[in-house]
Structure 1
Amino acid sequence: MIPPIHLLDEIDSTNAEARRRAEGGDASSQWIVARRQSAGRGRRGREWNSDTGNLFATLLTLTNKPAAEAAQITFVAALAVADLLDAFATPGAVSIKWPNDVMLDGVKSCGILIESGTQASGALWLAVGIGVNLAHAPEGTERPATSLAAHLRSDIAYPPAIDDAATVLAETFAVWQARWESLGFQPILDAWTARTRGLDGPCVARLGHETVEGTAEGVAPDGALRLRTADGALRLISAGDVFFGAAA
């Protein structure tokens, strides 16, 4: 079942609104979508550019899964965004970069931020924040960014409107979430791996307190990146800024 979509003209952050609703006891699954954010956030507290015409959406949902397993929803989100972009982009343009950056011709086009907490009832809530560059790409970012508008199929003149894109995203997310909940993580990981590049070559992982260089050797069963360092040690990277094929 597809959760209802609440479309707002402006909000500080769709993730912040999801948190407020969850901490207020709202136990219903729902999408919170905004035409504009005044205080959008990316990973590690980075500002998320909020140009009008792009998609800013958060799925608020509850789960009975333990926190470590619930974190797998980031792979579900990446697949859902990839399917959304596939509906409008030139064939073959869409790919995924570990763990959840969705790329158009190798350039980042979206951001995904997962936040969570526990309600008074003990249920774990998840806020799956998704920002997709539909019409515009931010400038001056650490790594290049692009928008769907620059990669449209030849028979499509304009990127989808925000409400239309939100509907497609809700539909694709519901499909992958249902597979995850009924079949477990492996089918999700298999589909994600088929779309992901760079899992068998040089990479650099910036982990905040250290930078690790080596060769990627695929992913572990839980989705962690397997990184073989020059001394032969195997590191499992669960989170961090990872760059494939070139130095960070």
Structure 2
Amino acid sequence: MTDFALGPKARAAGYRLRGYDSIGSTNAEALAAATAGDPGGIWFAARQQTAGRGRRGRQWINPHGNLAATLLIIPESDPTSAATLGFVAGVSLNRALSAILPDGMVKIGIDGADGLGGGRIALKWPNDVLADGAKLAGILLEASKLPNGRQAVAIGIGVNVVAAPEGLPYPATSLAALGASRTAEDVFDALSDAWVDTFGMWNDGRGIGDVLTHWRASAAGIGAPVAVQQDGDVLRGIFETIDDDGRLIIRADDNRRIAITAGDVHFGATASARS
């Protein structure tokens, strides 16, 4: 048994929950449930993952006491629209953190990712949440086609609550390191309720423009130098915006506007460095 519980909005909206102390992968559990015929609208939440997955097949390390949560949904929208659910998750998590962190810790505004200061929480394209420029949380969408032709989507969210993984190639932090005494259960409660509001705004993809407006308002790095690594190549320029399709728009050095759909993003001094 665990102490995970849905927030009141999530309960009223009919969401369900399976809570775990430790699990292999909440995303894997969600997709297995979909294959077994679950209709969706169910959260899988754990204090620890032993086989968590990150983007591009990377391992997602989840020390005990952190939050690993996955929501299984079977949306009415087409796969292209469903792919924007990562932005719904980012806005939801940002709202959840704003609701539970001490006043003054979350500062909303558009700026670069370096030297954020004051516990500034920001969304990093495409799927990370930063605090003071260090990774606090990550989001991973995985999809599976069902026998009836519909698509099941597992929306995985990992939050460093008590500790950040060690030995990573990028800075990482945790709520505890930021001075916030919160539990995985606290974060999940707030997240499950914030999801209800943001998912309603998304409206089967018809409201993605509104979701992206909220996402941009908390974005890291807009107007700052950015470098995007793609298949061994590095594209450098200025991060202009996220367009209405959720693509990263870069103003390259030769003044071209380039739309990026995938890649590893680096801001600030790392982006400006020339090799």
Task: Provide the secondary structure at the position in 1 that maps to 2:185.
Answer: helix
Unaligned residue ranges in structure 2 (runs of 5+): 1-12, 108-119
Mapped pair 1:170 → 2:192: yes
What amino acid sits opposite 2:234 in the alignment?
Answer: T
CA displacement, residues 66-110 of structure 1 (integer Å, 9 cap, x when unaligned): 111111110111111112222215242221112221111222100
Corresponding residue of 1:20:
32
Aligned partner letter, 2:131: L
Aligned with 1:109: secondary structure?
Answer: strand
Report the equivalent of 2:137.
110
Deviation at 1:166, TM superposition (A): 1.6
Q: Is this contact kept in 2: 1:35–1:55, CA < 8 A?
A: yes
Q: Which amino acid aligns with 1:176?
A: T
TM-score normalized by structure 2? 0.84
Verify the 8 A CA contact 1:214 1:227 in the aligned structure 2.
yes
Mean CA deviation greater in 177-186 or 127-136: 177-186
TM-score, length basis structure 1? 0.92
Determine the structure 1 residue equivalent to 2:60: 48
- Deviation at 1:184? 0.8
The one-character-per-residue Cα deviations of 1:117-170 (angstroms, maximum 9, x if unpaired) are 2111111111000000011111111110000112246xxxx212x233222111
Of 221, 227, 235 in structure 1, the residue corresponding to residue 244 of structure 2 is 221
Offset, 1:226 = 0.7
Q: Does the Cα contact within 8 Å between 1:101 and 1:112 map onto a contact in 2?
A: yes
Q: How many residues align structurally?
A: 243
Alignment of 1:89-104 (within 5 A): 89=102, 90-92=105-107, 93-104=120-131
Unaligned runs of 5+ in 1: none
Pick one of 26, 38, 43 that aligns with 2:50: 38
Letter in structure 1 aligned against 2:140: L
Equivalent-residue separation in structure 2 for 1:201 and 1:15 (angstroms) = 33
Partner residue of 2:255? 232
Distance 1:152 1:174 in 2: 28
RMSD (Å) for aligned C-alpha atoms: 1.6
User: C-alpha offsets along residues 162-220 of structure 1, whole Å, 9 cap, x if unaligned?
Assistant: 23322211111111001111761111111111101212121100112422111222121
Q: Is the 8 A contact 2:96 2:191 kept in 1?
A: yes
Matched, 1:134 2:146: no
Q: Secondary structure of 1:179's partner?
A: helix
Measure the CA separation in 1 of the matches of 2:202 and 2:21: 32
Q: 1:211 aligned to 2:234? A: yes
Map 1:179-190 onto structure 2 (within 5 A): 179-181=201-203, 184-190=207-213
Q: Is the Cα contact below 8 Å between 1:115 and 1:127 reproduced in 2?
A: yes
The 4+ residue runs of structure 1 with deviation greater than 3 A are none
Q: How many percent of aligned residue pairs carry the same amino acid? A: 38
**Aligned mates of 1:208, 1:25 — CA distance in 2:** 37
8 Å Cα contact 1:30/1:61 also seen in 2: yes
CA positional deviation for 1:22: 1.2
